[in-house]
Amino acid sequence: MENQCIALAEAAGFDPVALRVEARAPWRWLPERLWRLWGDVPNRLSAENRRTLRGDWPDLVVACGRQSVPLAAHIHRKSDGRTFVVQCQDPRINAAHFDMVVPPEHDAMPPTDNTVAIVGSPNLALRWRLEAAAAAWTDTFAGLPRPLIAVAIGGSNNAYRLTHAAIDDLFHALASLKDVSGAGFAITTSRRTGPDNEALIRARAEHLGAWIWDGTGPSPILGLYALADAVVVTEDSVNMAAEVAASGKPLLIAELEGGSDKFDHFHDTLRARGIAKYLKPGPFEPWSYAPLTETLRAAEELRTRMAACGFELPKPRT
């Protein structure tokens, strides 16, 4: 969620500073629809958050996540137009509490004048970041076989389950890519993967002869998007799939147990645009498509709306 905020602000030309909302109990457990109970919002937050709010009003606030909703609405109200407030994802309260809302299209949020729905989510697969990541990781991946297939593994969430059986299916398909196409692999996992699944993945990766990130130091994920010939993403992650789509690299979706209508809609959209295919055993057959530039589209709309409100804007990145 933090990456979504940073990506959208950066794509709009700003140099954002991350603030993680820390609500005190019991306020952090309240659902969005009870936001009115927050009352004087700063008093519900951590001491560090309160110190930050005592500073100057920023030109732009980009928020994401459940706990950010009452705070972003508070800033919109109290800044009296001095701060342009953007909420990513569906805030589950009236969009009029923000200057702009950027929900994923698959959430089917009712449209309003200040809603800009996008495919996927704002993400950091921006041209300048991909170029920097490619330079930083070229030596690490230079010795791996080609085609180089990056594998980004997520984990269980409300819609999907990353099981041992799903991991076995994933590595069966990867082994087929190696046998038929001579592919090499670079693998990352996430905090949602879980220690038991992590151990199994590392064992399978070693047997496959794959490079796997040890979890220390900077994440290689943007470097992989920039340097790989294709990227496999488990179907639990909208953000990773959106990042691959923005990079322009062929996207292979690894199926998990479970599913939901929202995720199905998102994956169907990517497949209909020629961005993604489901991962299956067999040869690697590359394809191309126009990269998904939804982060840039939302950022340009943000700049247009801020300019209409009289804000002086930084130069856009080139």
Show me where the domains of the chain are located.
2-119+295-308, 127-278
Q: 200: Cβ–Cβ under 8 A, 6 or more apart, which residues?
A: 164, 167
Predicted local confidence at residue 34, as pLDDT: 75
Assigned superfamily of 127-278: Glycogen Phosphorylase B; (3.40.50.2000)
Sequence-distant (≥ 6) Cβ neighbours of residue 25 within 8 angstroms: none
pTM for the full model? 0.92
- For residue 222, give the amino acid letter: L
Q: Which one has a higher pLDDT value, 51 or 38?
A: 51
Q: Which amino acid is at 15?
A: D
Q: Which tokens hold the place of 317?
A: 């990145």
Residue range 147-166: average pLDDT?
97
User: 37 pLDDT exceeds 90?
Assistant: no
Put residue 180 in one of left, alpha, beta given phi > 0 → left and psi -120 to 50 → alpha: alpha
pLDDT tens per residue across span 75-105: 999 999 999 999 999 999 999 999 999 999 9
Q: What's the CA gap between 210 and 151, in Å, rounded? A: 10
Is the bond preceding 195 in cis, omega lying within 30 degrees of 0? no
- Supply the pLDDT for residue 26: 86
**Cα 145 from Cα 10, distance rounded (Å):** 34
- The residues near 148 (Cβ < 8 Å, ≥ 6 apart) are 141, 183, 184, 185, 186, 227, 228, 229
Which has the minimum average pLDDT: 21-25, 154-158, 298-302? 21-25
Residue-wise pLDDT tens digits, 247-271 = 999 999 999 999 999 999 999 999 9
- Sign of dihedral through CA atoms 34, 35, 38, 44? positive
d(CA 239, CA 223): 16
